[in-house]
Chain A
């Protein structure tokens, strides 16, 4: 059913570059122009989009205006508040882009498994940044709340 295809891509390139044409959003799917939003549009992106170094400045928590430890209830409330502000049906200056971004953040953070994955990677990328100053890796720390029920290949390749 799935046509075999030679392995072209190096396995470590877990994430599409931000300017990847495949993630380039309409209405102007220009293969070379970086989209305003990162790779979070591919069908699996809500699960796998990573807080890599470029996206670190706008994590899903930032999108929802929350701190990383926010409760599920706060996440839901923030989503609804933002939906009323940016959803094309409700907003005075509608933007489907903004709503898609808010929803992508919500769909990851509202699912406990996806959120745990995401949190872990968020921490890791922060740790990578910090390691340059203090060579301490949190990533493999036994105290790290490794609550992952599902492993996705992209996630696995992050490590």
Chain B
């Protein structure tokens, strides 16, 4: 299907609103049709209807009406017109209004964006179906290739024969990948720091701003952002699904790592919006697997609900970028998430550890990002990846590779060495599993099934580690390690879209829990958790705070998310000030801070003075979080610098609460 991506200018007018605006847009060619997509950052959200669009390219400008947008390429006298003559004829028979009334079932699709691979699944009316790309792959490599003014993403992998991308091309510096690790992270983040050894450019200043990311195009570094790369990728993915379904797709259920912060979630939703997709639900990956498990269990034991027998599953998911663990209690198609935990270790870390191990001067070698060095870095990456895959099935593996420039690697790697080198990673995996069991208040004996998913679940050490902690001999068999998460997401998509199945196979429910503590800064720099992790959502909790100074009239509510005891060890989500507190001795005022998470996982924070009461008290404040966009690494420090402790809060000791 070969998507070609051309930047152009479009003038848009929103239906029902006066005035025209120029936005930049991308024109895709898909088969014989053109698709116009407003460009990123053009404050245009996909899925909107537009009254008119002018596509300008070169000296030509043409009008088109209706913009959802099917633009036909026209032929003139049987001859194809020159590339810049995009005749922008609308699908005249369908205005935007008609389109919205077209009777296609608007069922959300399931998307699993992996650090390394991505897959998409739909509910086809009877069951979940994973879609394949033109190369017949269900797991599509997650990357976007930048070439001149053509961009192509890993969905098609340069489907046209002449442009098919091999792993070598992907590692040439021209492709951006690992978006899921980079998105929504600041340049002080250790994950971003570790990404500097990737073939494309990740530049950091170490000051808490977003990193500079660039792809090599014609021997120049061209800058981009993880959101932009992801959006381009999603556009191709969306096109693939629409080709298959033959109707537009608007909604998606996306699986995300447990360790994703709310800030990262907003960035990924932004990328989806840029691609014209609305994120109906964000599901932590193991919970999507839990849903699939719940369905399988329900089919096994039809009438189980009345008896209330639950089956407890421990789900461990390890992909290229993240590891997650979850404990789910399932009965009667209802899967209750008892505990969640996750961390940022994955196959990428294993790969980097092994690369450093076989080539000790790895870091210094790849400092400059010259073309030569990128090339040898790519060769090493491919060879190491191969070796790790082989090691899953054999005792030891030879790594023999000529990196050019006189650099050669020749090494035999066996299991014990592999495990030694990656010991820290395995320890982190153990930690999240143990934390999950403790949080769920379960002993290993309580676990009925251990479900291992994700690409790294094939690593023997990972399998033995998880099974060992759960005191099990074998893992659950009926789940495909690479397809489970996306299948669960597609099922959730169908359920959340209101699809019912006569056979009852969609009478399912996942009761989610919060993966991280949510709270505010109080008692100096401490973190007071208002909604502790593993609280069932929808949830609403409140807590009382008081002033720390006499006659304090203002109080700062700084909202954080995370596991650290100190506020600054956590992610700052946003902040606001309560003003107009009546003057009173310190500790006598009561300020209520309430946090509310709805079923769509939206977090709202309510705060206000509850004591003393009276007409002089200012109204409560409601803030939807996160409010911070970029540079949130700075905000905490800036607040501290500006206000010091003058508008701090303290937790009101429980015993003194009325």
Contact = CB atoms under 8 A, between A and B. Distances in A.
B650 A41 contact: no
Contacts, number: 148
Interface string B386-426: 00000000000000000000000000000000000000000
B540 A25 contact: yes
Contacts of A9: 656-658
Nearest to A107: B536
A153 B654 CA distance: 9
A41 B542 contact: yes
A27 interface: yes
A76 B308 contact: yes
Contact of A74 (B308, B336, B650): B308
Interface stretch (B178-186, B195-203, B377-385, B598-606): B598-606
Interface in A142-158: 153
A21 B611 CA distance: 9
B128 interface: no
Interface string A105-149: 001000000000000000000000000000000000000000000
A29 interface: yes
Nearest to B655: A153
Summarize A's interface: helix, strand, loop or mixed: loop
Contacts of B544: 22
Nearest to B607: A29
B2 interface: no
A3 B523 contact: yes
B285 interface: no
A11 B526 CA distance: 28
Contacts of B487: none
Nearest to B548: A3
B621 to A, nearest CB: 9
Contacts of B536: 103, 107
Given A26-B594, A29-B594, A73-B307, A2 B538 contact: no
A43 B533 CA distance: 12
Interface in B509-534: 509-511, 523-524, 526, 530-532
A2 B511 CA distance: 35
A24 to B, nearest CB: 8
Given A16-B658, A44-B654, A87 B599 contact: yes
Nearest to B496: A89
A4 B306 CA distance: 51
Interface string B640-658: 0000000000111111111
Interface in B305-334: 305-310, 331-334
B306 A77 contact: yes
A42 B658 CA distance: 13
Given A9-B658, A80-B305, A100 B496 contact: no
- Size range of the chain A interface in the assembly: 35 or more
A156 to B, nearest CB: 11
A8 B538 contact: no
Given A5-B653, A73-B309, A99-B538, A26 B596 contact: yes
Contacts of A41: 540-542, 594
Given A29-B594, A89-B495, A8 B658 contact: yes
B540 A26 contact: yes
Contacts of A2: 523, 650-651, 653
Given A5-B587, A9-B657, A9-B658, A21 B594 contact: no
A80 B331 CA distance: 8
Given A83-B511, A100-B539, A8 B592 contact: no
Given A16-B658, A31-B613, A96-B538, A22 B590 contact: yes
A13 B658 contact: yes
B542 A76 contact: no
Interface string A1-40: 1111111110001001000111111110111100000000
B581 to A, nearest CB: 14
A68 interface: no
A56 interface: no
A65 interface: no
Nearest to B545: A3
A158 to B, nearest CB: 15
A4 B510 contact: no
B89 interface: no
Query: A25, A32, A87, A89 — which one has the most chain B CB atoms within 10 A of its CB?
Result: A89
Contacts of B579: none
B541 A26 contact: no
Interface in B547-587: 548, 586-587
25 contacts: A2-B523, A3-B546, A3-B586, A3-B651, A4-B587, A6-B588, A8-B658, A21-B611, A22-B542, A22-B610, A26-B540, A27-B604, A27-B622, A29-B606, A43-B530, A43-B531, A73-B307, A73-B308, A80-B305, A83-B511, A84-B507, A89-B510, A96-B598, A100-B538, A153-B654
Given A16-B658, A81-B305, 19 more contacts: A2-B523, A16-B657, A21-B611, A22-B610, A25-B540, A25-B596, A29-B594, A29-B620, A43-B530, A43-B542, A73-B309, A80-B331, A83-B334, A83-B336, A90-B495, A94-B599, A96-B538, A96-B598, A153-B655
